[in-house]
Structures are given as C-alpha cells and as structure tokens.
Chain A
Amino acid sequence: MIKRSYWLLIGLLFSFSTLIADSTLKKDACVSCHIEVDEENDDEDKIVSYYKSDLHVKLGFSCADCHGGDPEAYDDEDEAMWENDTFIGVIEKEEQLEVCGKCHSNPVFMRQYSTDIKVDQVTQYLTSGHGIALENGNENVAVCSSCHGVHGILPVDDPRAPVYAKNIPKTCSKCHSDETVMFESGLPTNQFTEYEMSVHGMALLDRGDIGAPACNDCHGNHGASPPYVSNVDQICGTCHSNNKDLFQKSHLNDIFLSKGLGQCEACHGNHDIAKPTDEFLNWADESTCKPCHEDSHPAKALALSFYQTIDSLKTGLEHARKMVEKAEHKGMIVSNLLFDLDDAKKALIHTRTNIHSFNKAFVDTGAAPGFQSIQAAIIGAKESLEEVEYRKKGLFIFSLIITFFVIAIGFKINEWKKQRESASN
C-alpha cells in the first residue's frame, strides 16, 4: 500500500511540474493556436518552438506585447487578431524601430532589468549606414531582427545568439557577403573572406578568443558605419593604445592625414590585417614602407635600423635563452636569469611598439634595457655553466682521493691477511 502511494505521489509531482513548465505558454491564446500552426510549418517558420527560448518570454512578455491583439480571446480568432485594433501582425522592417524602441528606448522601463542598460539603440541606428538608408526608403537594409533574430531572441552573452561576439562576423556576412543584397549599395562582399584570414579573424573564429575584435568593434553596433580616415587610429587605438599614441606624435601623422591615408590601415590593411612580422621593416618584398617610399628615401635607412635593432634583440634573446636552458638542464637554479629573459622579451615587445614613433633615438633608448637584460642573462648562464664544470672537476679530484683510500685499505687488508696466514703456518 505504501509502495503504491509512493508511486502515485511521484506521478502527481511529475505531472504538476510539467503543468507548471508549460503554464506560461498555454495561458496565451496566440501560443495555443500557433502551436498547431507550427506543426504544419517547416522548422524555419516555426514560431512557438523558438519563442520558448526567447529572452522576452522568460522575462514575462507575451506575443501581444509586440504584435498586439488579445491574448485572452481563446476561442475567437477574429477577436484575437483581425478585428482587434491593437493587432499589428507581421512587423514590417520600417515598423521595427517603433515596436522595439517602445521599450528599448524607454530608460525608465528598461531600468527595471538593469541599472546600466543602454537605451540609445534606435538613436544610434538612425545615424548608421543602415538607418540612413532605411530613412531614405531603402528597405534592403538590416533592422533589429536582421541581427538579433525574430522569435527566440537570446541575450548578447549567450553563445547561441547571432550577436554573440564570436557569431557577429557570420551574422554581418549574411548580408555583406551576399552580392544580391549588396548590389544596390555597390559595397564589396569580400570583407568576411578577408577577415576570416586576418589575425583578428583567426583569433576570434579559430581560437574562440572573444577579446579579438569582430565587425562591431571597429564599425560600431547599432550605429554601424564605415570609419573615416581620421578615425582609424582611434578605432585601432582602442586596443593598440601605445601604437596609436606614438603614431599620433610622429611626423607621419599629419602627412598621412593630408594625403587621406588611414593611419594604421595604410600599412596594416583593414579587414585582412595580417599578423605583423619584423620583415615589414626589412625593405624586402614584405616591406610595408616600399609601396610609398623610393629606395633613395631616408625611410629606407630608418626602417633598416629598426629592423636591425629588433633582429639583434631577437637573436640575443634566443642565444641567452638557449644558454639559460643549458644551465637549467644541468641542474642549476636559473630563476633569476628567467626574470632577465622576461625583461628582455618585454623590451623586444616595447621596441616593436616603439617603431610607430618613427624616431630612431626613441627606439634605441627603448631597446637598451633589453640588451642589458640579455647581457645579464648570458653572464649569469655562463657563470652557472662554469660552476657546473667546477663541480665536475671537484668530483674528479674527490673520486681520485676516494679511489686512493679504497686501494690503500685493500692493500692493508691483504697485508693483514698474509700476516695471519704466515702466523698460522
């Protein structure tokens, strides 16, 4: 009897929990009808299935909050939708700003979800390339739903969301890599292909490093627009601040601006930014200076001097590292020398940054501590290796002494043995 009651209780609890889980959906007349419609539709056209995971639904919003209509008119389709004054139905592109902005542009309303939530999305959007085109009657542009999705909108930090950092390039490329969509605007469609192969693209897409910039980090989110030439250093400088500061103070800053060259972009490119190498400075094929400067220009000597400084630091550091490793493998304590190697590595990184000053004296001064650290590591490693040799010599002498004593004792034992044998005879 007890056993039967036990199972009955479990059954009741299970049914009750199922009821609770579905109660938010079933109380809504829109949902109860559209579940049936969904069953006839393909996956992509299903509404309620996606709606279940929607952030808004989780926060207590219903279909009627966006689409209007009466969610309580369970048995009357006309009253629920067609004959209801508030019913909007499918929200057209030009209506989205108003529908979404109704809440998202209302600071008082939005504050209940987060105190620092942004409410300038619509304002920003209207300044963007997309917004301006929409205002001009071009409906072939991205609106809220183009990026955030329609039913099943997920929070921005959800890895499944189309606006999650790692998914943004793909989301933008849905339109920007589509020649048909881009045909009218005349914009290129190779940005994603270029970005994918870039240092940023590989970091974000291949390694999943969400600190790496996606489209929105340079172009903006809701106010997305192409950066102006004069803004390029500010955009790159958001992350590469030292490079930006040094370049802005250099003599090249004004020259670039006067010639309409994007400061960072002129040498590093935009969507296809490759991982910079020291060969950029070597006045060979990969040199980024050569497209603008003749061989006779003083820029060649400057670039080559930078190259030599960096190369000397690099080879010096490598040599020092090998010596320190050798000493470490021989059992010496090299932790202090590892600090020197770290300092030298930092100096190398700083020198690579400092070249954006295009000032030889500044670069050389910055590199000097690196050379000192390399020297200190080499001297320390040499001393350690000398100590190893000293220990080996000590061991050799010690072994000789021990061998001498062992042989001497052996002779003594033999002598006693013979003495005893002769005595017994």
Chain B
Amino acid sequence: MKIYEWINERVDISSIKKIALKKRVPIFYGTIWYYLGGVSLFLFMIQVFTGILLVLYYQPGAETAYESVKFIISRVEFGWLIREVHSWSANLFILFVFFHMFTVFFAKAYRKPREMTWISGMILLLLSLGFGFSGYLLPWNELAYFATKVGSDIAGAIPIIGDFALRLLRSGDEVSGATLTRFYGIHTALLPGIFTVMLGLHLILVQVQGMSVPPEIEKIPEKERKSIPFFPDFALQDAMAWLIVLNIIALLAVFFPWELGPKADPLASAPAGIRPEWYFMFMFQTLKYIPAHVLFIEGELFGILLFSIGGFIWFMVPFLDKKAHEGIRTPFWTWFGILLIIYMIVFTAWGYLT
C-alpha cells in the first residue's frame, strides 16, 4: 500500500484504480467465454518468459540451431521443460486465440463500438500465426525445414509480388541458413515488438469499453443483469483458469514431449508425410485438392485468392454485418461462422487422416 501511495503522490494512478474497481463482469450463460481472452494473454506471457530463457542458449544458424536445441533439451538444467512449455503453450495459444475469436464472433461482440477491438484482435491472430510459422523452423529439423519450404512456396505463388515475397521470406531462392537467421529475427524481435503494441491497444480498448454482452443479454434492463466485480472476483477466477492451464501444459510437457527428429538436410529428398502446423492444415489440405486449373486461373493461385477474399471478409465483419449494430442476429452471418468452423475442422481432420 505504501508503494501505491508513493507512486500516487508522484503520478496520479488513482484514475486507473477507479476504472479497474468500477469494471464489472456480466454473469450469464456465456460468462465462461470471458476466460478465453485472459487465458490467451496468459499463454502469451508464458511464451515471452520461456522464449527469453530459450534465447539464452539457442544459436541461430544452419550448423548450430539444431545442435543448440538438442543441447537445451539434453544438457541444460530444466531446458527440456522450458522448450516443452514453449512449444505446448504456443500451440495452446493459437487454439485459445481461435476459441476467443469465434466466441467473440458469435456473441457479436464486434458490433459498434468495438470494431477496433475486433480489427486489433484479427491483427493479433495474424501475428500469432506468423509466430507459429517462424518459430516452427527454428529447431532446424527435417520436418520443419520441408514444411517451411512448402509454406514459403505458397507465398511465391502470389501474383506480382510472389517472387519478392518468397525471396523476402527465405532471404534467397532456397530455404537455407540465411532463412533461419531471418526467421529468428522475425520471431524474436520483429513480431514481439508489433505484437506488444497491438496487444496493448487491444487491452486498452477492452478496459475502456468494458465487457461486451450478446444482443439478447443487452436487451435485459441493466439493473436486472447480474454481474460481479472484475477486481478481485473475476481476476481471481481468471487466475484459477490460468493455474489449471499451466498444470495442463506441465502434464503435456511430461507425457507428450515434442520430438526433435533428425536434423534438416537441404540436399536430402523430402520425407513422406510433410505437414504444416495443425492451424495451417485446413488451408494446406484445400490447396492440395484444388484442381490444377480453375477456369483460367492456376489452382494454387485460385486457392490463395479464395483465402485472401475469405480472410478479408472475416476481417471486415464489423462493417459488413450492419444489423449487428442494431442488436439483430442475421442468419447469414451465424451460418457463415458455423460453416467456417465445420470447414476448418473437417479439412484439418481430413489432412491428418489421409
């Protein structure tokens, strides 16, 4: 308390305290959804913490990356735990970000005045996928190498800027040690920098605008709506969820460790069963089964166009779903979300089963 007073005498932080204490969390059937954003934030914090520890030993470079990861796992005290937690929390982070995004979508939380929160969230999702793609290559193992090769090939198929994008990603014509160094820079400096700014904006918006409720709940008079204070009740409930997630990560790290596999060999032929990370699988599977030519467009290019248009529509949902601002649920957007989830699940499962 003395520290608070000491700071408050010098910088007025009582207004922040007021906002925090004033903030309430609505209680209704969907309160559980509010945990998803918090858990995603917690997983990101784990990423930062374990990532910093890994950087202390990791050495980027075609000749050193694999060896240093092996060293971390086998020789560094608790190195295996840090690497496992980093890998597992990365995957869970993407999973929770997806959950968070869809619950926000179905709760129509993107409606006025929260359009910017949605846009900042979407940018955070894209950055998270960038984290996943760049981090996947860093152990420099066989699977990561060829998956990155395939992934960056797709970038090369983009019209006009394809060649430039490919060379920008790979730092040359082929995936090499230079690509690894570039991905390391992107993963540990560029993305964290942008992500932190965007996350700050996202959190400020959430705090300033308060918790959104679905249109049906909003129609209930405010006095009749149940709620609990964010501090300390919901914050402690959040802490409970975080602890449970932390325990799940520890469990996964011990019982389902990530295999390092053989070292990447650029001269070797690609092994069978090359797959991207699970969150790219639905796109990978779609591209695999698009015919070589669709009308006059090349199949791969058609796929990229399809994803770009789809992604743009999803990005712009707050501006396209105009009825949502009036608190009306339009079946079109509900079905759009449901079909998108079905498509993603089916194609991901198909990719793993075939």
* A residues lining the B interface (CB < 8 Å): 330-331, 333, 335-336, 391-392, 394-395, 398-399, 402-403, 405-406, 409-410, 412-413, 416-417
Give A330's nearest chain B residue, CB to CB.
Answer: B257
Q: Is the CB of B236 within 8 A of A409?
A: yes
Judge whether B259 is part of the interface by a CB distance below 8 angstroms.
Answer: yes
Q: Is the CB of A399 within 8 A of B247?
A: yes
User: Main SS of the interface on chain A?
Assistant: helix
Give A333's nearest chain B residue, CB to CB.
Answer: B74
Known: A331-B257, A416-B233, A417-B233. A406 touches B244 (CB 8 A): yes
Known: A395-B250, A395-B254. A406 touches B237 (CB 8 A): no
Known: A395-B251, A402-B244. A413 touches B73 (CB 8 A): no
Q: Is the CB of A406 within 8 A of B70?
A: no
State the CA gap A394–B73 with chains docked (Å): 17
Given A336-B74, A395-B254, A403-B247, 19 other A-B contacts at CB below 8 A? A330-B257, A331-B257, A333-B260, A391-B254, A395-B251, A399-B247, A399-B250, A399-B251, A402-B243, A402-B246, A405-B243, A406-B244, A409-B237, A409-B239, A409-B243, A412-B236, A413-B237, A416-B232, A416-B233
Known: A395-B254, A399-B251. A333 touches B70 (CB 8 A): yes
**Quick one: CB contact mask for B81-123 with A, threshold 8 Å, 1 for yes?**
1000000000000000000000000000000000000000000
Q: Give every chain B residue within 8 A of A394 (Cβ-Cβ).
A: 254
**Quick one: CB contact mask for B225-256 with A, threshold 8 Å, 1 for yes?**
00000001100110110011011001100101
A99 to chain B, nearest CB (A): 49
Q: How many residues of B contact A (CB 8 A)?
A: 22
Give B262's nearest chain A residue, CB to CB.
Answer: A335
Known: A331-B259, A416-B233, A417-B233. A409 touches B70 (CB 8 A): no
Q: Give every chain A residue within 8 A of B247 (Cβ-Cβ).
A: 398-399, 402-403
Q: Give every chain B residue within 8 A of A410 (Cβ-Cβ).
A: 240
A244 to chain B, nearest CB (A): 36
User: Main SS of the interface on chain B?
Assistant: helix
State the CA gap A336–B75 with chains docked (Å): 12
B343 to chain A, nearest CB (A): 33
Q: Give every chain A residue within 8 A of B259 (Cβ-Cβ).
A: 331
A416 to chain B, nearest CB (A): 6
Q: Is the CB of A413 within 8 A of B233?
A: yes
State the CA gap A394–B244 with chains docked (Å): 16
In the assembled complex, 22 residue pairs joining A and B whose CB atoms fall closer than 8 Å, in A order, are: A330-B257, A331-B259, A333-B70, A391-B81, A394-B254, A395-B250, A395-B251, A395-B254, A398-B247, A399-B247, A402-B244, A402-B247, A403-B247, A406-B240, A406-B243, A406-B244, A409-B236, A409-B237, A409-B239, A409-B240, A410-B240, A416-B232
B24 to chain A, nearest CB (A): 12
Q: Which of B253-277 contact A (CB under 8 A)?
A: 254, 256-260
- Which one of A333, A336, A399, A412 lies within 8 Å of B73 (CB-CB)? A333
State the CA gap A392–B251 with chains docked (Å): 9
Q: Give every chain B residue within 8 A of A409 (Cβ-Cβ).
A: 236-237, 239-240, 243
State the CA gap A176–B256 with chains docked (Å): 63
Q: Give every chain B residue within 8 A of A335 (Cβ-Cβ).
A: 70
State the CA gap A280–B154 with chains docked (Å): 59
Q: Give every chain B residue within 8 A of A398 (Cβ-Cβ).
A: 247, 250
Q: Give every chain A residue within 8 A of B237 (Cβ-Cβ).
A: 409, 413
**Quick one: CB contact mask for B55-82 with A, threshold 8 Å, 1 for yes?**
0000000000000001001100000010
Give A416's nearest chain B residue, CB to CB.
Answer: B233
Give A413's nearest chain B residue, CB to CB.
Answer: B236
Q: Give every chain B residue within 8 A of A413 (Cβ-Cβ).
A: 233, 236-237
Q: Give every chain A residue within 8 A of B74 (Cβ-Cβ).
A: 333, 336
State the CA gap A416–B235 with chains docked (Å): 13
Q: Give every chain A residue within 8 A of B246 (Cβ-Cβ).
A: 402
Give the interface centre of A330, A331, A336 by most chain B CB atoms within 10 Å. Answer: A331
B261 to chain A, nearest CB (A): 11
Question: What are the 8 closest A-B residue pairs judged by CB atoms, nearest first?
Answer: A331-B257, A333-B74, A402-B247, A395-B254, A391-B254, A409-B240, A402-B243, A409-B236
Give A335's nearest chain B residue, CB to CB.
Answer: B70
State the CA gap A402–B250 with chains docked (Å): 11
State the CA gap A93–B239 with chains docked (Å): 98
A387 to chain B, nearest CB (A): 9
Q: Give every chain A residue within 8 A of B256 (Cβ-Cβ).
A: 331
A397 to chain B, nearest CB (A): 10
B257 to chain A, nearest CB (A): 3
State the CA gap A405–B250 with chains docked (Å): 16
Q: Give every chain A residue within 8 A of B239 (Cβ-Cβ).
A: 409
A347 to chain B, nearest CB (A): 25
Q: Give every chain A residue within 8 A of B251 (Cβ-Cβ).
A: 395, 399
Q: Give every chain B residue within 8 A of A331 (Cβ-Cβ).
A: 256-259
State the CA gap A406–B246 with chains docked (Å): 11
Give B246's nearest chain A residue, CB to CB.
Answer: A402
Give A388's nearest chain B residue, CB to CB.
Answer: B254
State the CA gap A335–B73 with chains docked (Å): 12
State the CA gap A50–B251 with chains docked (Å): 73
State the CA gap A144–B227 with chains docked (Å): 102
Q: Give every chain B residue within 8 A of A403 (Cβ-Cβ).
A: 247
State the CA gap A416–B258 with chains docked (Å): 42
State the CA gap A412–B232 with chains docked (Å): 10
Q: Give every chain A residue within 8 A of B260 (Cβ-Cβ).
A: 333
Q: Is the CB of B254 within 8 A of A392?
A: yes
State the CA gap A243–B62 with chains docked (Å): 42
**Quick one: CB contact mask for B2-17 with A, threshold 8 Å, 1 for yes?**
0000000000000000
Q: Give every chain B residue within 8 A of A406 (Cβ-Cβ).
A: 240, 243-244
State the CA gap A405–B260 with chains docked (Å): 34
Q: Give every chain B residue within 8 A of A416 (Cβ-Cβ).
A: 232-233
State the CA gap A402–B246 with chains docked (Å): 9
A263 to chain B, nearest CB (A): 43
Give A395's nearest chain B residue, CB to CB.
Answer: B254
State the CA gap A412–B240 with chains docked (Å): 11
State the CA gap A402–B240 with chains docked (Å): 9
State the CA gap A409–B247 with chains docked (Å): 15
Give the interface centre of B237, B246, B250, B260 by most chain A CB atoms within 10 Å. Answer: B250
Q: Give every chain B residue within 8 A of A336 (Cβ-Cβ).
A: 74
State the CA gap A413–B244 with chains docked (Å): 16
State the CA gap A394–B251 with chains docked (Å): 10
State the CA gap A32–B232 with chains docked (Å): 106
State the CA gap A143–B277 with chains docked (Å): 66
